C-alpha cells in the first residue's frame, strides 16, 4: 500500500527541534487499552523517514493487551520527536477501527463484515486497511471499484435502466443494487445483478426476502448484503437472516482511537 508520506509529514512541520543538538535516544510505544493493532507498518515507515531505527514487537492485525510494548525506536532524539505525533496518530486511528471491526466480526460468525465509503477524507486507504486487519472486507475503495446502484440513482433513471447501463460499462465489473423490498430484490436478481443490498430492513424483513428469492430459484445467482442501522447489539441477529455480507458504517464513523503513548527511556 503506497503511502503519501511526504504530504502527511509536511502537515506537521517541526519547529525548534531543528535547532536542538544531536542526542542518541531510545523510545518505546506502549498501548494503554486492549485491542487489535493496526498502523505498525505505517509508524515504522515514519520513523525510518527520519532515519530512526525501529524494532516492531507486534505485526499489524495482532491482538494486543493493555501495557504491551508495541515498538522500540532508536536513533537521533530529534528524529524520534519529529516522528512521535504522526506515528501515534496512525496507530491510534487505525487500531481504533481494527478493534471495532474485530468486535463486529466476532459477533457475525461466518457472515462477512464489510466497511463503507464513510471514511475521513484523504485517509480512506488507511481506514480500509484497518478494516482488513480487523478481519473485515474493505468493500469499495472508490466509486469506480464496483457499479453500485443506490436509491438515489434509481430515483434518477429507474431500476431497469440503471442496471442496463451498469452492465454495459464493462464485463469486468460486478453490479450491486440497493433495494428496500422483496419486489425490487426479485427484479434486480432477474435483471442480472451480482449483489443485492437490503437497505435499512429489519432482520425479519430480510429473512422473508431471502426465502422469496430461494423460492424463485434466484438465491444462488446473487450475493446478499445487509446495510443500515447495524450495531454491535443487533449484528448477530442480522447474521442469522440468511445473508452473506453485513456492511457497517459505524466501524469507521463511530470508532474512537485506541490509546498509545511514546516515552523516552
Q: Which of 43, 73, 80, 251 binds a second copy (CB under 8 A)?
A: 80
Q: Of 88, 110, 91, nearest to 35 (Cα)?
A: 91
Q: Which residue number, 83 or 185, has a Cβ lying nearer to a second copy?
A: 83
C-alpha closest to that of 71 among 50, 46, 49, 94: 46
φ/ψ bin of 159: left (φ > 0), alpha (ψ from -120 to 50), beta (otherwise): alpha
Angle at which helix 182-190 crosses helix 159-169, to 10 degrees, equals 40
| Sheet arrangement for strand 260-264 | 53-56, 69-76, 24-31, 260-264
Among positions 67, 109, 122, 204, the unique one binding a second copy when judged by CB under 8 A: 122
Task: Enter the C-alpha cell of residue 118.
Answer: 464513510
Count, residues near a second copy per rule CB under 8 A: 86
CB closer to a second copy, 14 vs 236? 14
Instruction: Provide the 3-class DSSP secondary structure of residue 247.
Output: strand
Map the footprint of a second copy across residues 183-222, applying CB under 8 A.
195
Closest of 49, 46, 57, 106 to residue 236, by C-alpha: 106
Q: Of 44, 89, 99, 227, which lies in the binding site for a second copy, with binding defined by CB under 8 A?
A: 89
**The binder of a second copy chosen from 57, 62, 141, 180 (CB under 8 A):** 141
Site for a second copy in 150-169 (CB under 8 A): 151-153, 155-157, 162, 165-166, 168-169
Please report, as residue ranges, which positions from 23 to 62 form the binding site for a second copy (by CB under 8 A): 23, 25, 27
150 is catalytic: no
- According to the binding rule CB under 8 A, does residue 223 interact with a second copy? yes
Q: Which residue is catalytic, options 82, 118, 128, 173?
A: 118
69 is an interface residue for a second copy by CB under 8 A: no
Which member of 95, 130, 135, 139 binds a second copy (CB under 8 A)? 139
Amino acid at each position: 500500500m503506497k503511502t503519501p508520506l511526504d504530504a502527511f509529514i509536511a502537515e506537521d512541520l517541526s519547529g525548534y527541534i531543528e535547532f536542538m543538538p544531536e542526542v542518541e535516544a531510545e523510545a518505546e510505544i506502549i498501548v494503554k487499552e486492549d485491542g487489535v493493532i493496526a498502523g505498525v507498518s505505517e509508524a515504522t515507515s515514519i520513523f525510518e523517514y527520519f532515519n530512526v531505527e525501529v524494532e516492531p514487537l507486534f505485526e499489524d492485525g495482532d491482538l494486543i493487551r493493555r501495557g504491551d510494548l508495541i515498538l522500540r525506536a532508536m536513533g537521533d532524539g530529534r528524529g524520534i520527536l519529529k516522528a512521535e505525533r504522526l506515528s501515534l496518530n496512525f496507530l491510534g486511528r487505525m487500531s481504533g477501527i481494527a478493534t471495532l471491526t474485530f468486535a463486529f466480526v466476532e459477533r457475525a460468525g461466518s457472515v462477512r463484515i464489510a466497511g463503507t465509503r464513510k471514511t475521513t477524507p484523504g485517509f480512506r486507504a488507511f481506514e480500509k486497511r484497518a478494516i482488513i486487519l480487523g478481519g473485515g472486507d474493505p468493500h469499495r475503495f472508490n466509486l469506480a471499484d464496483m457499479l453500485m446502484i443506490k436509491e438515489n440513482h434509481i430515483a434518477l433513471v429507474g431500476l431497469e435502466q440503471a442496471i442496463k447501463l451498469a452492465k454495459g460499462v464493462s464485463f469486468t465489473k460486478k453490479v450491486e443494487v440497493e433495494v428496500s423490498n422483496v419486489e425490487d430484490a426479485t427484479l434486480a436478481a432477474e435483471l442480472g445483478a451480482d449483489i443485492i443490498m437490503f437497505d435499512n430492513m429489519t432482520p425479519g424483513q430480510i429473512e422473508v426476502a431471502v426465502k422469496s428469492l430461494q423460492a424463485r430459484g434466484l438465491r444462488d445467482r446473487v450475493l446478499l448484503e445487509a446495510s443500515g442501522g447495524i450495531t454491535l447489539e443487533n449484528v448477530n441477529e442480522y447474521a442469522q437472516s440468511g445473508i452473506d455480507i453485513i456492511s457497517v458504517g459505524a466501524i469507521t464513523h463511530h470508532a474512537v482511537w485506541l490509546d498509545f503513548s511514546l516515552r523516552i527511556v
